[in-house]
Amino acid sequence: EAQVTQNPRYLITVTGKKLTVTCSQNMNHEYMSWYRQDPGLGLRQIYYSMNVEVTDKGDVPEGYKVSRKEKRNFPLILESPSPNQTSLYFCASKLAGGTYEQYFGPGTRLTVT
Amino acid sequence: RKEVEQDPGPFNVPEGATVAFNCTYSNSASQSFFWYRQDCRKEPKLLMSVYSSGNEDGRFTAQLNRASQYISLLIRDSKLSDSATYLCVVNNGQNFVFGPGTRLSVLP
């Protein structure tokens, strides 16, 4: 089944404790992206990647890192999480080119206390 | 001004009604446009792409007006299952900008 998977789905952590949220897709998509969704603000793009070893900042990259060492994986790293990073996170992937549909993972609900 | 704006609603309509959502975007260089549907705190799913010529998919019709930087979505004969949040999405080259969403509740 074609899909985007994220792990973990739910995470409660404490300020400053490094964490990684994994994202994997099995559709051979070149483009992958991370978003966060907060009430009243909609989805905001954190980072995106056009292909392996090619990443770029979205609208809200501060406090996040990403890497794209393999085509199928695009982990999101929070080196020192803070409470303002409490949010619902979505990973997405699509074929290269602006007109293609993005496929989203099921989301990761992160709480930083 | 936000890059993509939508009326947040909620729109509460009876079954069978026709409802229209609007979306405006500020970047005139935007290249492609989409409507996504999101059920409560689940992942967004593509409803339809939006083309300059307008496009229709069953009960759903999308229109794009590049001159006015305006996108619309029309839902005819609303069903209970149409209750969701509808997200307007604009692609500016490599990055995607989402509107805050318009919430629709279809009532029996």
Tens digits of residue pLDDT in A89-104:
999 999 987 678 899 9
User: Does residue B2 have a pLDDT over 80?
Assistant: no
Tracing tokens 């792990």 back to the chain, one arrives at A7
**What's the average model confidence in pLDDT over A49-61?**
94
Which residues of chain B does A89 touch, with a Cβ-Cβ cutoff of 8 Å?
none
Residue for token pair 């001004």: B1
- Using DSSP's 3-state secondary structure scheme, residue B82 falls into helix
pLDDT at B43 over 80: yes
In percent, the amount of chain B with pLDDT more than 90 equals 78
For B100, which of A42, A105, A107 is closest by C-beta distance?
A42
DSSP A30-90: SEEEEEEEETTTEEEEEEEEEETTEEEE-S--TT-EE--SSTTB--EEESS--GGG-EEEE
Cβ-contact A76, A63 below 8 angstroms: no
- Among residues of chain A, what percentage have pLDDT more than 90? 88
Partner-chain contact A104 B45, CB within 8 Å: yes
Nearest CA in chain B to A31: B94
Q: Which of residues 11-70 of B touch A (CB under 8 A)?
A: 31-32, 34, 41-46, 49
The answer, yes or no, to whether residue A107 has pLDDT greater than 90, is yes
Per the CB < 8 A criterion, the answer to whether B8 and B87 are in contact is no
Token digits of residue B41: 């705190």
Please report which confidence band the pLDDT of residue A1 belongs to, taking 50, 70 and 90 as the band edges: confident
pLDDT of residue A88: 97
Query: What integer pLDDT is reported at residue B52 of this predicted model?
Result: 83
Which of the four pLDDT bands, split at 50, 70 and 90, describes residue A72? very high
Q: With the CA atoms of A11, A13, A15 and A21 taken in that order, what torsion angle do they form, in degrees rounded to the nearest 10?
A: -40
Selected for mutation to probe chain B from A103, A104, A110, A111 (highest B CB count within 10 Å) is A104
In this prediction, residues B53-66 reach a mean pLDDT of 93
pLDDT of residue B1: 66
Q: Does A13 score more than 90 pLDDT?
A: yes
Query: Which structure tokens are listed for B15?
Result: 């079954």
Q: Could you give phi then psi for residue B85, rounded to 5 degrees?
A: -105, 135
What is the arithmetic mean of pLDDT over A51-67? 95
pLDDT digits (tens, 9 = 90+) for B87-100: 999 998 778 899 99
pLDDT higher than 80, residue B51: yes
pLDDT value, residue B107: 96
- The answer to whether residue B99 neighbours chain A at the CB level (below 8 Å) is yes
